[in-house]
């Protein structure tokens, strides 16, 4: 992962910084190689150049890993948040009466604050780009990633606004259908009440038909009038049943449209997840490149340490050779001095002998 690579590279960077002390000790030992000072300084110059390249490369990689770690952490949090919201939306009970618009508005305000954070991240990216005179490829790539995230974020904000409007519309429709449902319940009980009244009226008419002929034959037309009332009630009930059938058809159409929209939203969510998986694959590819770069840094460090050891061995061999030469020169000097002393003594003896001969000749 990015965090593990960042931790390992920090340890590697610390060891590279500590290697500087070894170079300083080698520079302090320069006085011990007076005879091979030029060669020693040449080796030290090459070592300084290689160490400077290694240190700059390590610093750049550490900076890039820290930026990548921050970006991956932020992207992971955003993905977790989006997945939670997608799960919440998929598992949402659209038949629930309470649409909870207050929490939706609170979430939208949280999204606005996150949008501000993304704007700040883009400003930081632009400042980093201006602070580098050279064109950093990794920095450009991170800027492109941030731009893509901002574009995706704007699309999410538009989708959230659309969902909010849909929720408001659904709230209105739910209130309407709730009222319709209450009306249907009333109609249901009203129908039962009407059926009970109709049964009672039929019983009453039957009773009157059995009683009134004996008491007053003139009242027979009233039975016909009650029958007309029953027919009228049947017509009214038939009309109400037609209205109820129409409302039921509308409700079924609404449910069908809602299910179709939910299926489309699920497909859109699956598409977003596929895009996120592709982005994660790109991040994994970047991590693999960073790992290869770390291996290259390890090889460069090992090569620098090997050259430093070879330089120290060469210097020690050179010092040993020069010490041997110095000992030989000192021995030769002593031999020459002894020979000169002997010649001087011989010359003095010879001079004395010649002086003596001259004196005897005189």
Report the C-alpha gap between 48 and 311 in whole angstroms: 13
Report pLDDT for 357. Answer: 79
165 neighbors 175 (Cβ within 8 angstroms): no
Report pLDDT for 161. Answer: 77
- Give me 81's structure tokens: 């948040």
Report pLDDT for 130. Answer: 64
Q: What SS3 state is found at 35?
A: coil
Report the C-alpha gap between 81 and 87 in whole angstroms: 10
Which residues lie below 8 Å from residue 16, measured CB to CB, with a gap of 6+? 54, 55, 58, 301
pTM (2 decimals)? 0.33
Domains of the chain, start order: 1-91+108-132 (1.20.58.60)
307 neighbors 47 (Cβ within 8 angstroms): yes
Report pLDDT for 22. Answer: 79
Report pLDDT for 221. Answer: 46
Report pLDDT for 82. Answer: 65
Residue ranges of the chain with per-residue pLDDT less than 70: 1-2, 33-35, 72, 75-76, 78-79, 82-83, 85-143, 145-146, 150, 177, 179-235, 237-238, 241-242, 362
Chain Cα centroid distance, residue 257: 37
Write out the DSSP string of 248-279: HHHHHHHHHHHHHHHHHHHHHHHHHHHHHHHH
Percent of the chain as helix, strand, coil, to the nearest 5: 95, 0, 5
Report the C-alpha gap between 288 and 198 in whole angstroms: 84
- Give me 77's structure tokens: 């949090």
Give me Rg for the CA atoms of the chain. Answer: 51
Q: Give tens-digit pLDDT for 106-143.
A: 655 665 666 666 666 666 656 655 655 445 555 566 66
Report pLDDT for 134. Answer: 47
């Amino acid at each position: 992962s990015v965090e593990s690579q960042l931790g390992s590279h920090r340890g590697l960077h610390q060891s590279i910084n500590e290697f500087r002390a070894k170079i300083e000790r080698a520079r302090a030992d320069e006085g011990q190689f007076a005879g091979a000072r030029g060669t020693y300084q040449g080796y030290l110059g090459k070592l300084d150049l290689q160490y400077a390249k290694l240190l700059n490369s390590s610093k750049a990689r550490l900076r890039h890993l820290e930026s990548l770690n921050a970006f991956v952490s932020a992207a992971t949090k955003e993905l977790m948040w989006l997945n939670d919201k997608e799960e919440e939306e998929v598992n949402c009970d659209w038949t629930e009466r309470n649409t909870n618009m207050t929490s939706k508005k609170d979430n939208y305000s949280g999204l606005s604050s996150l949008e501000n954070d993304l704007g700040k991240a883009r400003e930081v990216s632009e400042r980093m780009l201006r602070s580098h005179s050279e064109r950093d490829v990794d920095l450009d790539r991170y800027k492109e990633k941030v731009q893509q995230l901002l574009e995706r974020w704007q699309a999410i904000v538009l989708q959230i606004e659309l969902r909010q409007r849909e929720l408001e519309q659904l709230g209105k429709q739910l209130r309407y259908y709730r009222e319709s449902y209450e009306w249907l319940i009333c109609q249901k009980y009203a129908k039962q009440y009407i059926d009970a009244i109709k049964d009672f009226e039929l019983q009453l008419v039957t009773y009157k038909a059995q009683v009134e002929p004996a008491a007053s034959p003139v009242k027979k037309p009233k039975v016909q009038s009650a029958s007309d009332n029953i027919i009228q009630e049947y017509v009214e009930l038939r009309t109400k049943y037609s209205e109820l059938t129409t409302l039921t058809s509308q409700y079924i159409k609404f449910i069908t449209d809602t299910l179709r929209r939910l299926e489309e939203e699920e497909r859109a969510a699956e598409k977003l997840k596929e895009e996120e998986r592709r982005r994660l694959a790109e991040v994994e590819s970047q991590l693999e490149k960073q790992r290869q770069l770390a291996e290259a840094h390890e090889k460069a460090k090992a090569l620098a340490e090997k050259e430093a050891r070879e330089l120290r061995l060469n210097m020690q061999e050179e010092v040993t050779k020069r010490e041997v030469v110095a000992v030989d020169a000192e021995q030769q000097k002593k031999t020459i001095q002894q020979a000169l002393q002997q010649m001087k003594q011989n010359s003095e003896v010879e001079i004395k002998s010649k002086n003596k001969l001259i004196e005897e000749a005189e």
